[in-house]
Amino acid sequence: MSSAALHILVIGSANVDFTVKVERLPQVGETVSGGDFLLSYGGKGANQALAAHLAGAPVFMIARIGWDTNGELLYQHLTAVGLNPQGLLRDPEVPAGVALIMVDSQGHNLIAAAPGSNRRLSVADVQALEAKAFPGGILLTQLETPSETVEYGLRRALEAGMTTVLNPAPGRPLREDFLALPHIITPNETEASLLSGITVTDLDTARQAGDRLLAMGCQTVIITLGAQGALLARRGEVRHFPAFPVTPVDATAAGDAFSGTLAAALFEGLVLDQAIVRANAAGALCVTKRGAQEALPTRQEIEALLARV
């Protein structure tokens, strides 16, 4: 990136996460007891912002955070870890977003989120911060804030000459003209299935989904496949990047570690193939620890894993 690329801009969500670790995930109507409880900090936007920050990139995040008790904890945490408080807008009318997470002994999870103040992040909020926000190199955004705000951010970033990365999560169908806005999208299997209409279960179906998404207008698609690594699909190229072998503990925020580290690597000037390898390493390290932001790896941890493997 050029010297004018002052930061990675993240427009997205911030939550307080309430996680219970259980031996197995419950069935409908069932209570599974005996688990351990962890209060932590999450939200896809904040996770990805912190992942990029820990990977060594300068980050400016725009988020809306309630004034309630959870919101105060969240605000103090995000400023303490190094995010600029100017972008962390406080909302006096609704509580901060929260997520309820269950994680089983294999690291699989179930998540339900109450978006709270995240659903009130508006186009006007982004416009009010344009002078701070858009002298940037990369925009990284997700779908836990209103679609019109995400779309405005993507369009404004393109006008400013920025590289745009969309993590289309949580998954939902998107218009083809919306899908054409980001330079790169980073869906997981579930999100790629929803967007493409092709159920992704393995590398072959991931390739089919990638081809469909390119036909729908996407420019570059990177499908994250958990233990199977990641699949890159762009015009004239399909390439598989194997996962780093680790023992999974908790898959929470692994996709966020991937997207944030990918953006940081691109900001640093790595080519896309190199950036995907680094992002894969970050995702692998993330699943070896419990929690969301607590599990995000540092640049030193990522480089150590790359050196070993």
Name the residues annotated as catalytic: 256
Q: Residues with Cβ < 8 Å from 150, sequence gap 6 or more?
A: 11, 141, 142, 143, 166
Axis-axis angle for helices 254-268, 44-54 (nearest 10): 50
Token duo for residue 115: 């978006």
CA torsion sign for 141, 142, 144, 146 is positive
- Tracing tokens 């997470």 back to the chain, one arrives at 101
Identify the three-state secondary structure at position 116: helix
Angle at 8 between CA 277 and CA 126, to 5 degrees: 140
Asked if 163 and 139 count as a contact pair (C-beta separation under 8 A), the reply is: yes
Tokens of 128: 């009010």
Question: Is 288:246 a contact under the CB 8 Å cutoff?
Answer: yes
Question: How is residue 202 annotated by DSSP?
Answer: S
DSSP state of 41: E
Residue 233, both tokens? 């699909």
Residues 6+ apart with CB under 8 A from 255: 167, 169, 186, 188, 224, 283
| Rg (alpha carbons) of the chain, rounded to whole number | 18
Structure tokens at 2: 């050029």
